[in-house]
Amino acid sequence: EEQLVESGGDLAQPGGSLRLSCAASGFSFSEYWMHWVRQVPGKGMLWVSRINSDGSSSSYADAVRGRFTISRDNAKNTLYLQMNSLTVDDTAVYYCARDDRGADDALDVWGQGAMVTVSS
Amino acid sequence: DIQMTQSPSSLSASVGDRVTISCRASQSISRYLTWYQQKPGEAPKVLIYAASSLHSGVPSRFAGRGYGTDFTLTISSLQPEDFATYYCQQSYSSVITFGQGTRLEIK
């Protein structure tokens, strides 16, 4: 079964840092671009970041550029999101998702989500 | 960034009804449009990709149409499990954007 499992969600203080991990299984992780998407509970979805298959290229939403860093370890089948200088507006459920480039970049496999709460 | 606008924001319908949700892009996105279904407490699931291609395992009562800036998702005969929130998403731009969602409720 193709699966993504996020971890690392927690309560953080404004200005603090967290690192999310996303462990992939059941598919060839190194062949896929990967994304992070976040969602405030009860609200819509916001794309956060993308990384290509070998980790050499990435892009970010304006809201997180310069504060968040996406990376991956293909040997460990794991995607990461390093989040620094957190603000209360970063509070959300963070999903990792697989990009199916053969389906016009539809995000076809999603994790269960990791809750990040930023509060003093 | 490309803005995606869905309508309506919410919709009440009955089992067996035919419903259509619209999604409009602020500029042409060719066919780079995906529809997702999300239920409370769950991650989104792909229904339609490339504007009109049915994702594996998705029932044929779901259909997508459109090209350029205007797209629709139609559910031909609503089933109880279809009551959920639906999102469109463009992947034409390197900055992916989602519609605000359409909540489909039971009448």
Averaged pLDDT score across all residues of chain A: 96
What is the residue whose two structure tokens read 């190194």? A30
Question: Cβ of B98 and A113 within 8 Å?
Answer: no
User: CA B84 to CA B37: how far, in whole Å?
Assistant: 7
User: CA A38 to CA A74: how far, in whole Å?
Assistant: 23
**Is A118 a residue whose pLDDT tops 90?**
yes
Chain B residue nearest residue A39, CA to CA: B43
Question: Cβ of A110 and B31 within 8 Å?
Answer: no
User: CA B64 to CA A18: how far, in whole Å?
Assistant: 39
Nearest-CA distance B69 → chain A (Å): 16
- Rounded to whole angstroms, what are the CA distances from A93 to A6, A20, A117, B32, B42? 10, 11, 9, 25, 11
Confidence of residue A8 (pLDDT cuts 50, 70, 90): very high
Burial bucket for residue A66 (CB in 10 Å: 0-12, 13-18, 19+): exposed
**Is A103 a residue whose pLDDT tops 90?**
no
Q: Cβ contacts (< 8 Å) between B91 and chain A: which residues?
A: 104-106
Confidence of residue A102 (pLDDT cuts 50, 70, 90): confident
Chain A residue nearest residue B48, CA to CA: A106
User: CA A55 to CA A33: how far, in whole Å?
Assistant: 9
